Structure 1
Amino acid sequence: MISTTSLNMAGLKETFYISHGSPTLAIDDSLPARHFLKSFRQRVFSDKPNSILMISAHWDTTEPTVNAINGPSDTIYDFYGFPKPMYQLKYPAPGAPDLANKVKKLLEEAGFKRVHKDKKRGLDHGAWVPLMLMYPEADIPVCQLSVQTEMDATYHYNLGKALAPLKQEGVLIVGSGSATHNLRTMQSSNDSVASWAAEFDNWLRESLLSGRYEDVNQYEEKAPFAKQAHPWPEHFYPLHVAMGAAGVNPKAELIHDSWTNYTLSYASYKFTESS
C-alpha cells in the first residue's frame, strides 16, 4: 500500500472526472466502479489533499453557486425508491467556507459576474457517494460547486480554467457525473452495451487521450450520438470543468472503464497539467 501524505503548499497537477453512475454504487459490491473508487488512494492518487472541490451533476443552478458550510456537511438523499440502507449512510465531511470564498473570488475575477454562496446546502449524492469510497474517513473539508445547464460546455471549461490556481493550494478538483447518462435507455437485465453508447464512449476516450479538447467542448456537433448519450448535459459538464481546471494542454488518462445497465458508462479520467 502506498502511504498517504498530507499536502502543504506543494500544489497538485491533477484533476479528475469520476462517473458515479447509480447511487447504489455506495453499497453494491458487484460494481467494478465501486472497487475502483475504494482503491483510489492506493492506485491513482496517493496524496491527501488539503481540501476537495466537487462539481456534481446533481446541483444545477442558474448562476454559479458554492456551498459554504461551517461544521459537518449534511448528507442529501436526492433520490427515491432505493434500498433502506442507502438512507442510513452519512458522509459528515467538514465544510470548506474558506475554499468557497476563494472559488467565488476566482470566478468573479475571471468574469463570472454573479457567483453565489449557499450557507445551508450539504452534499448531494453526486458528491458524497464517490467521496465516501475515495475518502471514507470524511476528514477532508469539502466544498461543492453547481453546474449551469442553461449554458454550454465551453462555459464550463472556462469555469474550470478560472479554478486552476486552486491546485497550487492543495485543492483536489473533482467533476462527478457519468460519461453516458440516458436513464430511459437503461436495462437492468442486459449485460451487453448498446452500440450507440459504446460509440459515444469510444469517441470521448479517443478525443481526450489525443488532446482534442476543443472537440469535447463542441461534443454536441462533433460526437456520434451526443444527444442520445446525454439528453440533458448536467452529467457531462463536470468533465469540462475538470478538463479546464487541469491547465493548458493537460494530458488525459483513462483511469477506469466499466458498464452497467446496457447504456451507463463508468469511464473516469485523470487530467495532468503539462510540465
Structure 2
Amino acid sequence: MAILLSLPLALALALPAQAWGPLGHRLVARLAEPDLTPQARATVARLLAGEPEPTLPGIANWADELRSSDPGLGRRSARWHYVNLDGDGCGYDAARDCPRGDCVVAALEKQTAILADPGRTDAERRQALKFVVHFVGDVHQPLHAGHAHDRGGNDYQVNYRNKGSNMHSLWDSGLLNARRLDEDAWLARLRALPAPPPVSPMPADAPRLWAEQSCRVVAAPGFYPRGHVIDEAYVDAHLPIAERQLRLAGAHLAATLNAALGGNG
C-alpha cells in the first residue's frame, strides 16, 4: 500500500487538533445512517427537522464548533471529548480517569441516556443526539483515549519531510488526507471493508469498552514513531488501523442510536 505523502499531509499536520477532523466525523455518521432501524431513523429525522443540514453527518461536527458558536457550552463540554487512560493494560477506572464525569466515557453514557428518554424535551434530546454522534467518533480516535503525560499526543512532536506537527494532528486528519480522497470516495472505501460484528444487545458499558480498545491501539508497539519521524512505512502500517477505527465507529454509532431510539419516539 504505497502512499505518496507530500503537501496535503503537511497542510493537514499544521491544523489544530480535532478528533478525526470534520471529514472523519462526517464519515462516521454516514457509515451509521443506513443501519438505523426505521424507528430510530424517524426519531432522528424529527429531532433534526429545521437544522441547516438535518442529517447525522450534518450535525456530526457540532460539538467541535461549539468553541466558536457557543463558547460557554464549549468550555463546559471541553473535557467530554476524551479520556486519558494511563493505567496498566488500558483499564478504565472512573474515579481515577473520569473525576466528576468529565470525560468521553461518562459524557457518552449521560448523553445517550438523555437521548433515549422520551420524557425529555425535543430540544434536550436534539442536543444529546448531537453530542452522541460526535462522541462516538471521538472515543474511536485512539489518541482520545491516550496518555495524560503527552496530552493525547498533542505534546508528542513529529516530523514528516521537514514539516513539524504532533501525533494528535496526524491521527485526526493527516492520515486521512494522505489518501487525497474526497468524502464520497472515502465512504466507498470504508464501506468496502469487512463489516464489524453486530453489537446486539448493546453492552451497558460500551463506551468504556470502546475507550479501552482505542487505548490499546496507542499502547501497541510502534504506534509512536521511532525518532519522532513519520515515514512512508509508518503510514502504510497505520492508515489501515485508522480506517478500521472509523468503520467500527460507524457501526457502533448505529448500534447506539438503535438501542436508544429503536423503541421510542
Question: Fold-level match, TM-score > 0.5?
Answer: no
Between structures 1 and 2, the one with greater strand share:
1
Q: Which has the higher contact order (CA 8 A, sep 6+)?
A: 2
Between structures 1 and 2, the one with greater helix share:
2
Structure 2 length as normaliser, TM-score?
0.32
Structure 1 length as normaliser, TM-score?
0.31
